């Protein structure tokens, strides 16, 4: 059954990011600042989260509408218990070509093998610095770099590759770590990707001055390790690809602020309580959980999804202004990037 849809700007639906929890064991200052996500913060009760069975019922409907790639995210996806059970349910689905996960790496050393055995293909690990002082100041829970590196090594040993490493760059906070990270991951086969700090959510106090433009990141690395640009792997790929001229491998930059790529955005996002967002900077989600729990048939859910995607007109990053960056948008920790 194929029900492929395009939105009002002619963009198909190809990728789905599924947040499996709104909780995280880190308190990255740019994502879940402690002042907001402190001890008293009310996370969702487990009864509010989509069950694995509910997710596994929705996914074939998304696949029928064109989704080929799924990324599990959070919060921190590995804090959701028995995540490998969900992976085992999704991995065999016909039409799903890529099943991956984004993690802060803290629990990866323990879980990599079970994830691989369940059918996960690869992982992306977030790591913002190799300097413990900088990294701990950013994760704000005193988590050491070495344990993330252990997680990455365990993922590699389990065959969860190609492994990507994501570094969010915030000026004056970790831009001093750009070259160290490039040097460390050169020649390892891991693909390091630098992400411009974005105005997602409404709690991180984003300012344009905090953004280090991707062009500046590339120029800084190029001065130390000469680079040449590479073709995109496919239309709509978010990272701009570069390779070291000396054969040291590949890096990517994700310039969602300075060079928005809304025109090729084929991503839908499902929050852990079943709200469907058609943009990372969305203000309103569409309630799939209500349909699931209200007794809707698969055909009714499919019709709803087709309608939502067909009506999609989001292109936030292309029309961002200082005012819109202060609007009440969904938190990154809610839909997972």
Please give the residue ranges that form the binding site for ligand SAM (CB under 6 A). 24, 30-31, 73-74, 76, 102-104, 126, 166, 168, 195, 197-198, 200, 204, 332-333, 336-337
For ligand SAM, which is the closer residue by CB, 102 or 266? Answer: 102
What secondary structure letter does DSSP report for 331?
Answer: P
For ligand SAM, which is the closer residue by CB, 103 or 317? Answer: 103
Q: What is the closest distance, in whole angstroms, from the C-beta atom of residue 300 to ligand SAM in the complex?
A: 31
Q: What is the closest distance, in whole angstroms, from the C-beta atom of residue 170 to ligand SAM in the complex?
A: 8
Is 308 within 8 Å of 56 (Cβ atoms)? no
Other Cβ atoms closer than 10 A to 185: 21
For ligand SAM, which is the closer residue by CB, 66 or 337? Answer: 337
- Residue positions counted in the chain: 337
For ligand SAM, which is the closer residue by CB, 7 or 76? Answer: 76
Is 332 within 8 Å of 200 (Cβ atoms)? yes
Q: What is the closest distance, in whole angstroms, from the C-beta atom of residue 168 to ligand SAM in the complex?
A: 4
Taking the C-alpha atoms of residue 147 and residue 98, their distance in angstroms, rounded to an integer, is: 27
What secondary structure letter does DSSP report for 282?
Answer: -
For ligand SAM, which is the closer residue by CB, 204 or 272? Answer: 204
Q: What is the closest distance, in whole angstroms, from the C-beta atom of residue 242 to ligand SAM in the complex?
A: 19
Q: What is the closest distance, in whole angstroms, from the C-beta atom of residue 8 to ligand SAM in the complex?
A: 27
Taking the C-alpha atoms of residue 181 and residue 47, their distance in angstroms, rounded to an integer, is: 40
Is 22 within 8 Å of 44 (Cβ atoms)? yes
Burial 22-44 (b: 16+ CB within 10 A, else e): bbbebbbbbbbbeeebeeeeeee
Q: What is the closest distance, in whole angstroms, from the C-beta atom of residue 289 to ligand SAM in the complex?
A: 20
Taking the C-alpha atoms of residue 146 and residue 123, their distance in angstroms, rounded to an integer, is: 18
Q: What is the closest distance, in whole angstroms, from the C-beta atom of residue 80 to ligand SAM in the complex?
A: 11
* Burial of 78 (C-beta count, 10 Å sphere; 0-12/13-18/19+): buried
For ligand SAM, which is the closer residue by CB, 61 or 160? Answer: 160
Whether the bond into 162 is cis, omega within 30 of 0: yes
For ligand SAM, which is the closer residue by CB, 197 or 277? Answer: 197
């Amino acid at each position: 059954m194929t029900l492929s849809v395009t939105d009002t700007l002619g963009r198909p639906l190809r990728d789905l990011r599924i947040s499996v929890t709104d909780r995280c064991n880190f308190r990255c200052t740019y994502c879940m600042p402690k002042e907001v996500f402190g001890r008293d913060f009310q996370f969702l009760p487990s009864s509010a989260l989509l069950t694995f069975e509910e997710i596994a019922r929705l996914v074939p409907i998304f696949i029928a509408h064109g989704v080929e790639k799924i990324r599990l995210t959070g919060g921190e996806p590995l804090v959701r218990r028995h995540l490998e059970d969900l992976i085992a349910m999704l991995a065999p689905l016909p039409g799903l070509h890529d099943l991956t996960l984004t993690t802060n790496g803290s629990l990866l050393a323990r879980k990599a093998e079970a994830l691989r055995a369940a059918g996960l293909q690869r992982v992306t690990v977030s790591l913002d610095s190799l300097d413990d002082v900088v990294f701990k100041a950013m994760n704000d829970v005193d988590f050491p770099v070495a344990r993330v590196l252990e997680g990455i090594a365990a993922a590699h040993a389990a065959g969860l590759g190609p492994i990507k490493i994501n570094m969010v760059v915030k000026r004056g906070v970790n831009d001093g770590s750009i070259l160290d990270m490039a040097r460390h991951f050169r020649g390892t086969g891991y693909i390091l990707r630098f992400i411009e700090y974005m105005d997602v959510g409404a709690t991180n106090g984003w300012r344009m001055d905090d953004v280090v433009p991707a062009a500046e990141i590339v120029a800084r690395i190029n001065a130390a390790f000469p680079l040449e640009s590479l073709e995109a792997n496919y239309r709509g790929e978010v990272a701009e690809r570069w390779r070291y001229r000396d054969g040291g491998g590949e890096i990517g930059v994700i310039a969602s602020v300075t060079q928005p790529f809304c025109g090729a955005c084929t991503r839908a996002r499902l929050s852990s309580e079943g709200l469907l967002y058609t943009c990372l900077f969305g203000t309103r989600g569409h309630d799939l959980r209500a349909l699931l729990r209200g007794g809707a048939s698969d055909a009714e859910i499919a019709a709803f999804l087709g309608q939502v995607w067909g009506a999609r007109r989001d292109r936030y990053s292309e029309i961002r202004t200082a005012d819109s960056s202060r609007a009440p948008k969904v938190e990154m920790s809610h839909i997972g990037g």
